[in-house]
A and B are shown apart, each in its own frame.
Chain A
Amino acid sequence: MVNMEKSYKKIEEITESLSKYLQGKDRPLRLALICFFSRGHLLIEDLPGTGKTTLAIGIAKTLGLTFGRVQCTSDLLPTDITGLSIYNKTSGEFEFHPGPIFNNIVLCDEINRATPKTQSALLEAMGEKQVTIEGKTYKLPRLFFVIATQNPVEQFGTFPLPESQLDRFMMKISIGYPSHDAEKEILKVGSKREELYSIEPVMDHEEAIAIQKDIEKNIYVSDKILNYILAIIEATRANGFLTAGLSTRGALTIVSTAKTNAYFNGRNFVIPEDIKELFEYVIPHRVIFKEEYESLDRKEVIRSLIEKIPTPA
């Protein structure tokens, strides 16, 4: 409550400093940050070349965090992500060499190209925030944020993530093409990827953790809001298009993203709009459609469902 104003300013600072490099990507940036501060992971489904990497690097740099990248291919092994022990001749012992997952922000490109075995190793690490290699457990950094990308077009030789795995991502978003003006600007100045590496961080590790804690502890969620969320969940479970509605994990996600959204809006309490703004990124990938309705627009179905639920006020 006390440092509300200050922290809110910080968030604004981050968005401002990054928007220079991410022209026209305000919304994905904001969503990614919400995801980060809600301690979740992000799945971006988009075509190559839309700025996923730029986004990931940008966030890592402004927050003063380390960044690792995994390009998934079908021959990628779990140890390529987690790291492995290598025998050191001089010391005569096995030395652990951590993989890219031991970074704060991990970009996992084209996750659907990796084999299920590798995918599950990654997803497990995301869920448990630790990895176990050769009987030894290694804690992942406290700030740990995975941005995985998926190419929706190329389906050949891919292993699409099963629904149960998708649930581990807090949000599923797409970046989309930049607007006409933004694209023109990009063309004019060229890619700013290089400059991105040299930007000054606006906050440090500790501050980011403090904000995460602040959001978790100090944002008030009224019973009215909880009832509203419950109404949404129950509606997904009773919906005729769906075989499975939202899980309890899904419900928890709605609460924590709504809290962060409220925080981002400079409020220390949640209002229904906080939920309504995010539902299309939080809900659709968590529900399972009946086979005959697979072809429907998932977002539209969820939207029509939400439109029927009255807000508390």
Chain B
Amino acid sequence: MIRVNLPSSINIEQGVKAITYTVSLIGFSSISGEIGLSYSLSFLCLFLLSLFFEYKRRFYLPRWVLNGLSLSVIGFTVYRLELSELVVQIIETLLILLGIKLLEEKKFRDYMQIYAINLLLLTGLGLLSLDIIFSVYLLVLVTLLTVATVLLTYYSESPELVIKRDIALKIILKSMYIPMLAIPLTVLMFVILPRTQYPIFSFLNRAEKAKIGFTDNVRLGGVSGIQEDSSAILRVNMDRIDPEHLYWRGVALDHFDGISWKSGTKEPISTTKPIPVKGIRVHQTIYLEPYENIYLFALDKPIYVSLNRARRYTNLTFTSFGFIEKRIRYEAISILSDTIMEERIDEERYLKLPEGLSPKIKDLVGQLIKGKGIEEGIHAIIGFLNSGSYRYSLENLPITKTPIEDFLFKFKYGNCEYFASACAIMLRVAGIPTRLIGGYKGGYYNEVGRYYLVPQKNAHVWVEAYVRGKGWVRVDPTPGSIEAFSSPIKAGYLFRMGLFLDTLNYYWLVSVINYNLEKQLNIIHTLKMNLKIPGIKSLKGMKKGVTYGVMLILGGVVLSILAFFLIRASKNDYVEKSLLTQFLQKMEKKGYKKEKSQGLEEFVLSIGEDKLNDNALLFVKEFEKIFYQDKPFTGEEKKRLKEILKKV
């Protein structure tokens, strides 16, 4: 090939080469500070050597030598692999591979490989240090690589192409559009996506009106309507359980002033203190969406929540240190039980009635519990509220100053807050201490992700009544079965669809959002410690030997996989196929497509162009000589065929 180096024009091959070397140098310099000196030096040697070969000698090392070299480098890496320095070691290896790659006679795919290695090097830098310099390298490298790829496309079409300088400039400028468009978009996506507070599939959300949801301030008679909100609040990874147990405990409220419930003083208790609850223990991994409060939800009767600086209170509620402003993940252990055994409680506090409570209520309670014991009395009151004369509704809620009285005697409908409040107050009138528990009820089990999805609309309030000798007993006076809260069939088609799509959401948040580099590195560190400490302490050389043995086996596996691919690549079938595809692709580019049922000669002879014909026919005849005699392709024949192919 004669180099055309007119001052006003550029040979495309020279352009691609120049950019490739520049890119490699930038890739190297980006990570040179992080790696061992010997690697930097070896890369520089390889780099200079390839420049020398490329421009002075026009000589390239045969591929098999380089492949062997690459293999041994990989083998060496595997041998000295240290988990604690995984990233650095991989980068070092990649760098040497880059150097070796530069030595090769480069074809289209080699250039692409070089670019890919450079990007990987930069990614490695990102894992090691997130300096501002990283973004500079990123910008430069992405821009250069885009230009290089565009030029490479021209090059692959015709290696001898010579373009005028102004046209080259135009091409370069045009190809700059790609990173210019891509980078801001990427940044936008980067900023928005992981920080979104709502599911990506946002049709689960509706407009933010007066939404149903959790609150630690249950206020009655304030709003006239509540809109259902299907967006998720909790995703709980656990085994499926009986839906009867699906109460997600959040807050306990004990003070009622006639309109709203508030939480009195709570006493935090040590998280290690044993809890007086007996039953089946259930382990949960909970993903809590951000919301404007501090309560940590868990399946009813939670005894343990694994969150840094989380607090536990005597009433078995948990709070986080601050407002939950981003999505968090925590583990929780709950005991499935209806009662909390507690021997002494502040009865006065849980029996306090609001001032000016209507005597009608007292009369009603008196009638209901006449001559009954505590538990019978509770049943009587729930039975009264559930008798059918009271209706569950989210609409046309009465706006009033005396909500309980109006609910019981006038309107006779309301949401769970009305039912629970009325129940709690009636029980207090009857002399039974009560408190309101706020949280969520039910949840939809996703079999694929093995988690419960609890939407905002499942927010619920229920009552805990204290029975002497037994403890706090859960009482849910709101009519309606648990199915309304846990069966997706009843929730409508669109919701079910959303539930299905939420699986993606779930995996996204499990794998991406909670990804924490430090945490992962910690895991690696722990792993390393686990591997190493016993080796030094107890069995000395023995365990170390095992570790090395494992590494050797791993290395062997990697090598044999590589060897398999190499052998396959040199195998006859593969060579045959690749030669043939190259030929057919070349012909197709020229506008001639072989019919499947056409023989090769038939195909070539069907083409009218004489010049094309001769070389193509020569190729086909030579190819057939080997192909149809089932002979192996020797290196020489391969070379010859490739040469003919070039002329086609």
A: residues with CB less than 8 A from B are 220, 222-225, 268-273, 276, 306-313
Further contacts, 8 of them, CB under 8 A, given A224-B627, A272-B599, A311-B600: A222-B629, A269-B628, A271-B599, A271-B600, A271-B628, A309-B597, A311-B598, A313-B600
Contacts of A309 in B (CB 8 A): 597
Contacts of A313 in B (CB 8 A): 576, 580, 599-600, 623-624, 627
The verdict on B346 contacting chain A, using a C-beta distance below 8 Å, is: no
The verdict on B588 contacting chain A, using a C-beta distance below 8 Å, is: no
Most buried by B among A271, A307, A310, A313: A313
How many whole Å from B621's CB to the nearest CB in chain A? Answer: 9
The verdict on B630 contacting chain A, using a C-beta distance below 8 Å, is: yes
Contacts of A268 in B (CB 8 A): 629
The verdict on B602 contacting chain A, using a C-beta distance below 8 Å, is: yes
CB < 8 Å neighbour of B597 from A220, A224, A270, A307? A307
**Is the pair B599, A225 in contact by a Cβ cutoff of 8 Å?**
no
Q: Given A273-B602, A276-B602, A313-B580, A306 and B597 touching (CB < 8 A)?
A: yes
**Is the pair A271, B596 in contact by a Cβ cutoff of 8 Å?**
no
How many whole Å from A269's CB to the nearest CB in chain B? Answer: 5
Number of A-B contacts (CB under 8 A): 52
**Is the pair B629, A273 in contact by a Cβ cutoff of 8 Å?**
no
Contacts of B614 in A (CB 8 A): none
Contacts of B601 in A (CB 8 A): 271, 273
Bound-state Cα–Cα, A233 to B268, Å: 87
How many whole Å from B4's CB to the nearest CB in chain A? Answer: 38
Q: In this complex, what residue of A is CB-closest to B621?
A: A267
Which residues, 608 to 630 on B, are CB-close (under 8 Å) to A?
Answer: 623-625, 627-630
**Is the pair B596, A310 in contact by a Cβ cutoff of 8 Å?**
yes
Bound-state Cα–Cα, A268 to B631, Å: 13
Contacts of B576 in A (CB 8 A): 313
Against A, the Cβ 8 Å flags (1 = close, 0 = not) of B233-263 are 0000000000000000000000000000000
Q: Given A222-B629, A313-B580, A271 and B624 touching (CB < 8 A)?
A: yes
**Is the pair B630, A310 in contact by a Cβ cutoff of 8 Å?**
no
Q: Which 3 residue pairs of A and B lie closest in terms of their CB atoms, listed nearest first?
A: A272-B599, A310-B596, A273-B599
**Is the pair A224, B598 in contact by a Cβ cutoff of 8 Å?**
no
CB < 8 Å neighbour of B599 from A220, A222, A308, A311? A311
CB < 8 Å neighbour of B629 from A220, A276, A312? A220
How many whole Å from B579's CB to the nearest CB in chain A? Answer: 10
Contacts of B595 in A (CB 8 A): 307
Against A, the Cβ 8 Å flags (1 = close, 0 = not) of B537-554 are 000000000000000000
Which residues, 486 to 527 on B, are CB-close (under 8 Å) to A?
Answer: none
B: residues with CB less than 8 A from A are 576, 580, 595-602, 623-625, 627-630
**Is the pair A224, B628 in contact by a Cβ cutoff of 8 Å?**
yes
Q: In this complex, what residue of B is CB-closest to A272?
A: B599
How many whole Å from A55's CB to the nearest CB in chain B? Answer: 27
Bound-state Cα–Cα, A222 to B630, Å: 6
Q: In this complex, what residue of B is CB-closest to A305?
A: B597
23 A-B pairs with C-beta separation under 8 A: A220-B630, A222-B627, A222-B629, A268-B629, A269-B628, A269-B629, A270-B628, A271-B599, A271-B628, A272-B599, A272-B600, A273-B599, A273-B601, A276-B599, A307-B595, A308-B597, A311-B596, A311-B599, A312-B628, A313-B576, A313-B599, A313-B623, A313-B627
Contacts of B596 in A (CB 8 A): 310-311
**Is the pair B599, A223 in contact by a Cβ cutoff of 8 Å?**
no
How many whole Å from A290's CB to the nearest CB in chain B? Answer: 24
Q: In this complex, what residue of A is CB-closest to B630?
A: A222
Bound-state Cα–Cα, A69 to B627, Å: 45
Q: In this complex, what residue of A is CB-closest to B598?
A: A311
Contacts of A308 in B (CB 8 A): 597
Bound-state Cα–Cα, A311 to B627, Å: 12
Bound-state Cα–Cα, A311 to B624, Å: 12
Contacts of B628 in A (CB 8 A): 220, 222, 224-225, 269-271, 312
**Is the pair A223, B598 in contact by a Cβ cutoff of 8 Å?**
no
Contacts of A220 in B (CB 8 A): 628-630
How many whole Å from B607's CB to the nearest CB in chain A? Answer: 15
Contacts of A273 in B (CB 8 A): 599, 601-602
Bound-state Cα–Cα, A269 to B624, Å: 9
Bound-state Cα–Cα, A183 to B624, Å: 39
How many whole Å from B492's CB to the nearest CB in chain A? Answer: 51
How many whole Å from A41's CB to the nearest CB in chain B? Answer: 27
Contacts of A276 in B (CB 8 A): 599, 602
Contacts of B630 in A (CB 8 A): 220, 222-224
**Is the pair B597, A311 in contact by a Cβ cutoff of 8 Å?**
yes
Bound-state Cα–Cα, A312 to B627, Å: 10
Bound-state Cα–Cα, A223 to B631, Å: 12
How many whole Å from B577's CB to the nearest CB in chain A? Answer: 9
Contacts of A306 in B (CB 8 A): 597
How many whole Å from A249's CB to the nearest CB in chain B? Answer: 24
Q: In this complex, what residue of B is CB-closest to A309?
A: B597
Contacts of B602 in A (CB 8 A): 272-273, 276
How many whole Å from B631's CB to the nearest CB in chain A? Answer: 9
Q: In this complex, what residue of A is CB-closest to B623?
A: A313
Bound-state Cα–Cα, A215 to B60, Å: 46
Q: In this complex, what residue of B is CB-closest to A268?
A: B629
Contacts of A222 in B (CB 8 A): 627-630
Most buried by B among A222, A224, A225, A311: A311
How many whole Å from A292's CB to the nearest CB in chain B? Answer: 27
CB < 8 Å neighbour of B625 from A225, A269, A311, A312? A269
Bound-state Cα–Cα, A308 to B630, Å: 24
Q: In this complex, what residue of A is CB-closest to B580?
A: A313
How many whole Å from A90's CB to the nearest CB in chain B? Answer: 62
Bound-state Cα–Cα, A310 to B598, Å: 7
Q: In this complex, what residue of A is CB-closest to B624?
A: A271
How many whole Å from A223's CB to the nearest CB in chain B? Answer: 7
Bound-state Cα–Cα, A272 to B624, Å: 10
Q: In this complex, what residue of B is CB-closest to A311?
A: B599
Q: In this complex, what residue of B is CB-closest to A275?
A: B599
Most buried by B among A225, A272, A309: A272
Contacts of A270 in B (CB 8 A): 628
Bound-state Cα–Cα, A268 to B626, Å: 11
Q: In this complex, what residue of B is CB-closest to A221?
A: B628
Bound-state Cα–Cα, A276 to B597, Å: 10
Bound-state Cα–Cα, A90 to B599, Å: 67
How many whole Å from A267's CB to the nearest CB in chain B? Answer: 8
Bound-state Cα–Cα, A269 to B602, Å: 16
Q: In this complex, what residue of A is CB-closest to B626?
A: A269
Bound-state Cα–Cα, A311 to B580, Å: 13
How many whole Å from B493's CB to the nearest CB in chain A? Answer: 46
Most buried by A among B580, B595, B627: B627
How many whole Å from A186's CB to the nearest CB in chain B? Answer: 30
Q: In this complex, what residue of B is CB-closest to A228?
A: B599
Bound-state Cα–Cα, A119 to B629, Å: 42
Bound-state Cα–Cα, A269 to B623, Å: 12
Q: In this complex, what residue of B is CB-closest to A273?
A: B599
How many whole Å from B588's CB to the nearest CB in chain A? Answer: 15
How many whole Å from A233's CB to the nearest CB in chain B? Answer: 15
Contacts of A272 in B (CB 8 A): 599-600, 602
Q: In this complex, what residue of B is CB-closest to A308?
A: B597
Bound-state Cα–Cα, A109 to B112, Å: 71
Contacts of A310 in B (CB 8 A): 596-597
Bound-state Cα–Cα, A272 to B600, Å: 8
Q: In this complex, what residue of B is CB-closest to A270?
A: B628
Bound-state Cα–Cα, A223 to B628, Å: 8
Bound-state Cα–Cα, A307 to B597, Å: 5
Contacts of B623 in A (CB 8 A): 313
